[in-house]
Chain A
Amino acid sequence: MITKMNICGRKRKKTETGDGKREKMQTDFSPSPSVHVNEDLIKEILLNLPTKAVLRFKALSKSWFSLISDSEFARRHFDAAVSPTHKLLNFVNDSKAYCVDIKSALCNDSWHAVSNFIVPSSFDLWGSGLSVAGSCRGFLLLQYYFHDLVMWNPSTGRQKEIHCDSSWPHDLSGMGYDPVDDDIVVVTVTLRINDDNDSKVSYFSLRTNCWTSVEYVLPYAYSKFQLELRHGQFWNGALYWILKSSDKLRSVVIAFDVREKRLSEVPLPNHLAILPLQSDIYHLKVMGEHLFLCLVRNEVALIEMWSMKEQHKEVTFWIKTFVFSSYLVGFMSLIFPICFTENGEILAFNSHDTLLKINKKGNLVRYGKKHSLLDFLSCGMYRESFLSLPGESGEIK
């Protein structure tokens, strides 16, 4: 301390009486090399670190371990979102997962194996066919052939099987978050379980750990791009899917309000609902703050991205945000956007499972190499987190 005072030129002779009395002074003058940073302050530092570093520092000591394992702290870290990392994950052969930071997704060398997924034994029955059906708060929703479901956090390895309550396979699935109950809700929809258009909507609350089923009359059918559209998009508190009217003449958007647990049709304006024969809506995707639908117009070789602007009772308003040539990434290839990159470009797949980047003007910025690992349907995006599942207390060791 004395030397420090010299450095800043503030050295001053002190009277014995005033300062000597105080204990505080003595500790300050002690030559202790290290300053003690208490746990509350450590927490504030950890809030500024990405998930990867925080998980690593669990191994520092027992007190750091319990501090980081605290579910309230995990929530604070997630909500603070100081340095959120978004990753793209891909399954190969239904068991091996690889992931990459979105920032370096086009660089093949950046992909690395994720080895903490344990294939549930019930999945063996179905063989291959794993897909990523949803993503929420660091967890991915995986499913085999529209049967059993698994929640998995690739960052922590935490996973939980969710057995579907019926042997009848569902058609649509998805996962969303209810902030009021702090609950993750998994939703499945089975269309037309009989000839009267009766359909079943089932939802599983992670917090209560049980399924609830409600029957609806849903006069809908799949669009021809069924697989891509079966996984719901969670946006503004609801899960969205695109379907066809039962006569297949109109496109229909349905939404399940995750908080209210209610399914409703979101009316599409006619110019999007009824399209010429060569055109169709083929993809629905939440990107940034918006819900986009992708529309291909084969007659003019264009792909359009429309974002939902607002919703009134009778109708929704959509704005044509991006237009690309469908020759942009190969002959009549569709573009499946994944997310925006840091500088506002669009990261997307083409029809051949190759990653690419497109700028806002619709120009191809960069084309990834054909990657043998990539498969659009078994790809999912998640935000790294060390959150536990709702209803789970503390940490599974």
Chain B
Amino acid sequence: MAERGESSEAVMLKKTEEEKLRKGKMIVGDESKAGYEEEGKKVKLVTSDGVTMEVEISIVKEMEIIQTFIGATDTDDSFIFPISNVSSHILNQIIELVKGEYDQELAKKLSHDELKEILVAANYLNMKTLFHFIATAIANVIQNKSVEFVRDFFGIVNDFTEEEEAELRKTNAWAFEGVDED
């Protein structure tokens, strides 16, 4: 943990905070507790591409993986949490989705890769609402799509023989009717 703290002299950090960081790492100074406003509080997250981002506590609170940690450690804003599975781009997307109160319209603007990356990130960060939201969004995308489209979407290799696949299509023929064009 401590070494990650060291690597976080990030461009977006305010200078004062940077200072605190250098001396503080994860050790909490007593004075930092005084007059703490929960609402304005931000938590610094270091993404997989090494970017340190300040994220509002209200959003971080949804990240149960971090929340557990914050709850367990008495910390101030010098606390830095590395989220090595999430890129800054995806974290930005996540922040927008949370701020946008999980509007399915927002999900429509995401690319297939973004949808998948956010799903994986939501699972990693243990963000239940986001996970449910994005799983629903992906379900909406693939619901009326062909088998080929969904293989492509998830990068699945078809390992059925032609005969096997034809048989499956025959067994559940009705399920292949009325499918959208790719």
Contact = CB atoms under 8 A, between A and B. Distances in A.
A62 interface: yes
A52 B174 contact: yes
Given A18-B7, A56-B176, A5 B156 contact: no
Given A4-B87, A50-B143, A114 B120 contact: no
A271 interface: no
A56 to B, nearest CB: 4
Interface of A: 1, 4-5, 7-8, 10-12, 14-15, 18-19, 22, 24-25, 28-29, 33-37, 41-42, 44-50, 52-53, 55-62, 64-65, 82, 112, 114-116, 155-157
A42 B88 contact: no
Nearest to A11: B51
| Most chain B beta-carbon neighbours within 10 Å: one of A35, A53, A82 | A35
A35 to B, nearest CB: 4
Contacts, number: 142
A65 B156 CA distance: 12
Interface in B35-86: 47-53, 84-85
Contacts of B104: none
Q: Which 10 pairs, one residue from A and one from B, show the smallest C-beta to C-beta distance?
A: A48-B139, A4-B89, A18-B7, A34-B155, A55-B175, A56-B175, A35-B116, A28-B48, A59-B168, A10-B88
A7 B156 contact: no
Given A28-B87, A62-B160, 12 more contacts: A1-B49, A8-B88, A11-B51, A25-B50, A44-B135, A45-B138, A45-B139, A49-B139, A52-B175, A55-B175, A115-B174, A156-B172
Contacts of B156: 60-61, 64
Interface residues of B, number: 55
Interface in B163-182: 165, 168-169, 171-177, 179
A37 B142 CA distance: 14
A65 B136 contact: no
Contact of B174 (A29, A34, A112): A112
Contacts of B175: 52-53, 55-56
19 contacts: A1-B49, A4-B87, A4-B89, A8-B88, A18-B4, A19-B50, A24-B84, A29-B49, A34-B116, A35-B113, A35-B116, A45-B119, A45-B142, A48-B139, A56-B176, A60-B151, A61-B151, A61-B159, A65-B168
A28 B11 CA distance: 21
B34 interface: no
A22 B83 CA distance: 13
| Most chain B beta-carbon neighbours within 10 Å: one of A4, A7, A50 | A4
Given A49-B142, A56-B179, A10 B168 contact: no
A57 B147 contact: yes
